[in-house]
Amino acid sequence: MAPLKKHFTSNHSINNQFNPKEILKEYGRWIKGYMDQGYRMYLVTFTFKHIPGSNFTKQTEMMKQIEFQFYPTLIKHVERHPMKLHRQCNLPRLIALPDAPVPKKTQSGKMSLSDVTINNGRHVHAIIGMARTMRHPKGFKLTALIRDYSERFIGPFTTIANIDVKRMKTRPRFVTDYVLKHAKRDRSVLDHLLILPKLPKDVSPPELEELVVSHRPR
């Protein structure tokens, strides 16, 4: 558990210290810890509209949309004062990593049509934990929120095309392994590993942080 604390200040701090299998194992424990604390856990899959550029560019844009579009919108439904340190405990916990389809050959030896998809089949898996609060003693119901307010998460303002949400009730380590499985095939994808929340200032989009910095007394 201890090494993972660094991710609340940097998403890349341990990528060069552990091999992918060790990382998956530690994150499995981390997610199980939140479930044991009573968090309502969800497996979330994001798919996207066409994003031009290389696979690295596509993945970078996907993670930006989750961090600066999806997550701030989610926070607005959970906590009115997310910048206050004593309210940070109410914020959703999120871990996300891009995934890519494993190439499958047909009997003719050619790639199957299912592999020729938007963004080369790339998408993002995430685990989101919703805390118990006074307003939501059993944890916030993410499935209902995305279903009932989809227009706030998907639209012309984002490249996110669809958000599939499934409640996670058992086997947190197995699900974590599934979410992070692409790291087993390609260690470099860990550069896109996203853990939220980070620092309080990171809760809001960069534009707001730039505004705050520009108005600080000199």
Buried b (16+ CB within 10 A) or exposed e, 53-89: eebeebbbbbbebbbbbbbeebbeebbeebeeeeebe
Q: Are 81 and 87 in contact (CB under 8 A)?
A: yes
pLDDT in tens, 68-101: 999 999 998 888 887 787 788 889 999 999 998 8
List, in order, residues 6 or more apart from 129 with CB less than 8 Å away.
31, 34, 35, 39, 40, 41, 42, 92, 93, 94
Per-residue tokens: 46: 């994001």
Integer CA distances (angstroms), 32 to 40, 68, 150, 161, in order: 11, 26, 28, 29
The distance of Cα 211 from the centroid of its chain, to the nearest Å, equals: 26
Could you give the CA distance from residue 29 to residue 13 in angstroms, rounded to a whole number? 18
Averaged pLDDT, 54-70: 95
Q: Are 197 and 203 in contact (CB under 8 A)?
A: yes
Task: List residues bridging with 196 in a β-sheet.
Answer: 94
pLDDT in tens, 117-160: 799 999 999 999 998 876 776 678 999 999 999 999 999 999 99
Mean pLDDT, rounded, of the chain: 78
Could you give the CA distance from residue 106 to residue 14 in angstroms, rounded to a whole number? 39
Averaged pLDDT, 108-125: 70
Could you give the CA distance from residue 88 to residue 92 in angstroms, rounded to a whole number? 9
The pLDDT, as a whole number, for residue 181 is 84
**Greater pLDDT, 1 or 123:** 123
Alpha-helical runs (H) found in the chain: 20-36, 55-65, 71-76, 142-148, 172-179, 182-185, 206-214
Q: Which of 33-37, 44-48, 180-184, 194-198 has maximum average pLDDT?
A: 44-48
pLDDT in tens, 12-45: 444 445 566 777 778 888 888 898 888 999 999 9
Collapsed DSSP state (helix, strand, coil) of residue 83 = coil
At residue 77, what is the residue type? H
